[in-house]
Amino acid sequence: MKIIKRSGSEVSFDPQKITAAIVKANESVIDYEKLTDAQIEEIVKNVEIACENMKRSPSVEEIQDMVENQLMNQRAFTVARNYITYRYKRALVRKSNSTDQQILSLLECNNEEVKQENSNKNPTVNSVQRDYMAGEVSKDITKRFLLPEDIVEAHEKGLIHFHDADYFAQHMHNCCLVNLEDMLQNGTVISETMIDPPKSFSTACNIATQAIAQIASSQYGGQSISLSHLAPFVQVSREKFRKQVEEEFKTAGIELSEEKINEVAELRVKEEINRGVQMIQYQVITLMTTNGQAPFITVFMYLDEVPDGQMRADLAAIIEEMLHQRIKGVKNEKGVYITPAFPKLIYVLEEDNITEDSKYWYLTKLAAQCTAKRMVPDYISEKKMKELKVDKTGEGQCYTCMGCRSFLTPDRTTENVARALNYVEGKGKYYGRFNQGVVTLNLVDIACSAGKDMNKFWEIMDERLELCYRALMCRHKRLLGTPSDVAPILWQNGALARLKKGEKIDKLLFGGYSTISLGYAGLCECVKYMTGVSHTDPEIGTPFAIEVMQKLNDACAKWKAETNIDFSLYGTPLESTTYKFAKCLQKRFGRIEGVTDKNYITNSYHVHVTEEINAFDKLKFESQFQALSPGGAISYVEVPNMQNNIDAVLSVMQYIYENIMYAELNTKSDYCMKCGYDGEISIVEEEGKLVWECPCCKNRDQDQMSVARRTCGYIGTQFWNQGRTQEIKERVLHL
């Protein structure tokens, strides 16, 4: 059995250390108040059993809490008081400089909590360590100086989660939709170098990847680009190739018809598209940003985003090549093709590609093959999204999310506040907009705190919502007064705006240009505790779940009306936080069956991963919650290997088009470097800890295997903490 030290490092459980601590406290009291050796032995044994029952590695703090409780149970009050006093004094010493041990453990690569915090960061790499070190300092400053004490306390107790505290000290926002069209069509500046509009498709792709890297280093969340912004440059290349072909053959003394010239030029256009797409895929994967990971980038593939005709045909060709290259995968250090985490792909299902007789059905079939092999693309239904996202024009809109699942609110801006050079008055504005940040509400804690008393539940809900509001306003106020100079690529050179040097970004924080997100987690467990049934129960569970969601939406609407800031309800994609919340709940309320007995809580509104439900029923059920989660929502179905059953994948995709706005299929994509096994890598238990194991050669060395799993909307490839690993292990198939 392992335990987690305060530094974050993992060590073997040693009961002798508990014995030594109790003996020390015991020796400080008079004889008649002392514990006997048998009592001390009983306490240590009870603590050891309690740790084993946790089914995860307990922290030192949790073990000390258990010791205190056991001392009280033995009615050794003076011993307990001395034990607590000593513990408190040591805590004060540690608090005087709270970051040293964490930073040292990071440098030695033995901080288990941090090593598994982000499933797309390798904590042994210097740049990642540097980012984590800076993050520890930032979190310390944030907790001690920048946030109110009650918000910090609520965060540490797991009542709420103040996301990305490691970046809060800086004036940085969360995620965005890049206005790549403006940057490419009207020029930009990257690293103080003027970049003119590109003269070819491959150059446009190269500029895009350079911009992506710069943007990733200037914010802490995901970014999205659209292939439609690259499509016009295919025609630029086409015209250039036509001239080249004509001149080459003329120089060679060969006369060609216009038809033949075009035919040869098209061959070169095809090669150009191949080069450009390959550049995006490989540069995004190999780029290392200042926070030590590949840019968290989403690529949007939406045919109807460009006019019908040649440009749409060119966009279709780019999408086709993007899918072909993703199906192929990328080579790892052993030369084996594996599934990369990024770029994430989103494919829009629309009227022209959703049936066998539609014009672009061949692309949809290719997308299905790609999903079966590489877990992407994810799917947005143009039909359902236009029903849910109606903006100032009175028309439904279809647009991409930002990274994992965060969606902008429908546009309500009234002027070109960002001074974008591609702004069209009266048309919905989406690219160039961003999210200010997230604070997540732990719904399970509200339920457990209420003790099944419905009136108390709503009272606590109001208190916690007020807490979230103040925490979100801290995020907003941190951005107020930020000069555009802090990130020129974002605020001055077109990615988000074209403000002047020294100009503040304040006007972009109001009036609907940007959003700010109230996240929520654990709707499933919340309903289970309060009603005794799953939120899939149509009689009791679902109505209560919808009531909770409506309450959260009403709060966002109220705050928006009061502040002119677009608060929006966001289905938080818990990664490491799912484990944190679960541990906090167990500490506060013990292990409640079906509620707090797992080392994870359920993402957003999702059906619990262990609940038996078929793919179509799951998507239909969750669609009603996507409508109530406008700031971000994604649903998934867990499927087996579907590479030999593409027709079934297509059936699910067609169901998504008719029934739900945004969904994905989860499959597995693994490889063992020791024996070459390319099936599913298993999760097994070792000394009370979940580890990954090749079922063929029993390899358990994570450095000798490639595992890709859907984490919480995107693909993770650097493994996960114990809570998320348990959640992955317990997922049932829906198809």
Q: Which domain holds residue 490?
A: 147-174+406-602
Q: Tens of pLDDT along 278-319?
A: 999 888 887 655 455 567 899 999 999 999 999 999 999 999
**Does the pLDDT value for residue 103 go beyond 80?**
no
* C-alpha dihedral sign at 542, 543, 545, 550: positive
User: Do the domain assignments include residue 368?
Assistant: no
Catalytic residues: 174-175, 402, 404, 406, 435, 570, 575, 713
Q: Tens of pLDDT along 39-90?
A: 999 999 998 888 888 777 888 888 888 888 888 888 888 888 888 777 766 6
Q: Are 549 and 629 in contact (CB under 8 A)?
A: yes
- Distance between CA atoms of residues 426 and 694, nearest Å: 57
Cα 707–Cα 708–Cα 713 angle in degrees, nearest 5: 150
Q: How many CA atoms lie within 13 A of 584 on its CB side?
A: 23
Structural domains of the chain, count: 1
- Distance between CA atoms of residues 259 and 261, nearest Å: 5
- Who contacts 623 (Cβ-Cβ below 8 Å, separation ≥6)? 384, 635, 659, 660, 661
| Mean pLDDT, rounded, for 455-459 | 98
**Does the pLDDT value for residue 9 go beyond 80?**
no
Q: Using the structure block, give the residue that is written with the tokens 């060969």.
A: 254
User: Do the domain assignments include residue 294?
Assistant: no
- Distance between CA atoms of residues 131 and 485, nearest Å: 22
Structure tokens at 601: 């809580």
| Mean pLDDT, rounded, for 462-469 | 98
User: Do the domain assignments include residue 545?
Assistant: yes
CATH classification at residue 451: 3.20.70.20
Structure tokens at 507: 């006007």
Angle, helices 258-286 vs 201-216, to 10°: value is 20
DSSP track, 183-242:
HHHH-EEETTEEEPPPSSHHHHHHHHHHHHHHHHTT-SS-EEEEGGGTTHHHHHHHHHHH
Of the listed ranges 284-288, 448-452, 462-466, 568-572, the least confidently predicted one is 284-288
- Distance between CA atoms of residues 288 and 621, nearest Å: 40
Q: Tens of pLDDT along 604-645?
A: 999 999 999 999 999 999 999 999 999 999 999 999 989 999
- Residue 567, pLDDT score: 98
| Mean pLDDT, rounded, for 512-536 | 98
User: Do the domain assignments include residue 630?
Assistant: no
User: Do the domain assignments include residue 447?
Assistant: yes
Which is more confident, 21 or 409? 409
User: Do the domain assignments include residue 527?
Assistant: yes
Q: Tens of pLDDT along 171-183?
A: 999 999 999 999 9
User: Do the domain assignments include residue 583?
Assistant: yes
- Residue 145, pLDDT score: 83
Q: What percent of the chain has pLDDT over 70?
A: 91
User: Do the domain assignments include residue 227?
Assistant: no
Three-class DSSP category at 60: helix
Report the 10 Å Cβ neighbour count for 191.
9
- Residue 119, pLDDT score: 47
Q: Are 596 and 544 in contact (CB under 8 A)?
A: no
- Distance between CA atoms of residues 346 and 391, nearest Å: 22
- Residue 436, pLDDT score: 97
